A = this chain, B = another copy of it.
C-alpha cells in the first residue's frame, strides 16, 4: 500500500499531452509519487482538497531581475513571495556585472559565489541564474560556468553598446564597466556558447538570451522625441526606441547566430515588427535553435491606455496592434514562452525626467492569473497556458527533468488555482515590495489559492507561509534522487 506525505484530492489536473483530468496527486519526499483516481485522505498525513479547482504545475518565470535596483538578499526576501502568489515556484534571474546590481565588475569566479551567497536562504522559490558576460575575460568563463556552476544560459544586451540602462546617457563603457561591448563581443559569446553546446551529448541545451534593441538608431529617435517635445510618457518612450530598433537588432542576431549556430532566445519581443523579424530569422535559418519570448506586460499594456511613466520598461510598452500581433504569435505557438521580466522598481525610481527614470517593474504574481484570464479568453487551451509559463521555459533552460509539468517523479511544485472567482489587481495582492503596479485594477481570474514547492504549502490564503526554502537550481537539473523510496 502506498503511503504519501500529502495528497491533493479532487482537482482538475492539467496533465502534459492530455489537458485537464479529474484526478488526485500523491506526494512523497517532495516529489509527485502518484497521479490517480480515488485516492483518499487516509493515505496521507495531509490531505488538500482541490475540489472545484485546477491543479497546475508551478510556473517557471524565466525572466527575472533579483537585485537589480536593491540588495539581492532584500529582493529575494520581498519578491519571491510575489512569485508564489502567481503560482510561480521556479525563477531564473538575470545577473550581470557593471552598474546596478553589485555595481562592480570582475571575474564571475569571484562574483557569482557572492550572488549565490546573497540569495541562499532568502528565496521562497527555487531559483537559477542566467549570467551576462560583460567583459571579454568573462567570455572565457562560459565553459566553466556551465560545467561547474550550473549556469546553462547567458545574456547579451544589444543596446548597452551605445547607452546606459535608462537610455539617458551614452556612456556605455562607464555603465557596463567594460570596453568593446559590441557585436564583436556578441560574436565571441556566441562562439563560446555554441562550442559548449556542441560538446554536450546529453540532450541538454546551453543558450544565449538576447535583448534586441539597436542603440545607434535609438540615439537618433530619442533625440528627435526630445527635440520635438510633443509626445509624452510611454508614447514618447516608445517613439524614442521604435520597433525598427528591435527589427534591426534581430536581423543582426540572425546573421551572427546563423553563422555560429549558437542557440538563442530572443527576449521580451514587444512589437509586431520585432516578432515578424524573429519569424524571418527562423525562416532563414531553419536548423537554428531560436526561441521566442514575450512578457506579460507586452501582452497586457499599451501606451494608448496606460501612458504613465511608471510603465517605462525596455523594450517599451507599444500600441494595441503590437499587442494583437504578439497574441497571434502566442496562439499559433510561434512564441515559446511568456514571463514577467520582474524587476522591483520603486515609484521613487520612476519619477522626474523620463530619460532618467529607471526601467522595469514587477509582474511575477500575475503569471497564472493573467495568462489564464486573458489566454483562455483568446482561445488558448489550459494545456497551452501551462506550456507557455511552465513546460516550455523549463525545457529551454534545463529544468525539465524536475520542473514544469505534473508527472510522476517530478518535483511536487503545484499551483492550485480558482478559475471561477475574479479579483482586481491591487498592490496588496501582489505581495511585492513595489509600491504600485501598472496592472492596477485589471479584473483577473485564475489566482492561486495555494502553491506548493516540492510538496510543501508555501502560499495559501493570500500569504506566503513559512520560511524561504528555495534552493539553487544547478542546470541542467538531473534526477538526482531515486524515484523509488528506499
Binding site for B on A (CB under 8 A): 1-2, 13, 15-18, 21-23, 26, 28, 33-40, 42-43, 162, 180, 182-185, 187-188, 203, 214, 216-220, 244, 247-248, 251-252, 254-256, 259, 277, 280, 284, 381, 391, 400, 405, 407-410, 483-485
Contacts and interface: CB of A to CB of B under 8 A. Distances in A.
A90 to B, nearest CB: 16
Nearest to A383: B17
Nearest to A203: B381
B410 A18 contact: yes
Contact of A36 (B33, B219, B220): B33
Contact of A37 (B28, B43, B251): B28
Contact of A180 (B183, B188, B219): B219
A1 B40 contact: yes
11 contacts: A1-B43, A2-B38, A2-B39, A15-B408, A16-B407, A22-B484, A34-B36, A37-B484, A37-B485, A188-B220, A248-B252
A376 B152 CA distance: 26
A192 to B, nearest CB: 12
| Interface of A (DSSP majority class) | mixed
Contact of A183 (B23, B28, B38, B214): B214
A483 B37 contact: yes
A15 B407 contact: yes
Contacts of A391: 17
A463 B229 CA distance: 64
B23 A483 contact: yes
Contacts of A36: 2, 26, 33-36, 408
Contacts of A280: 284
Contacts of A21: 407-409, 483
Contacts of A182: 162, 216, 219
A13 B407 CA distance: 11
A389 to B, nearest CB: 14
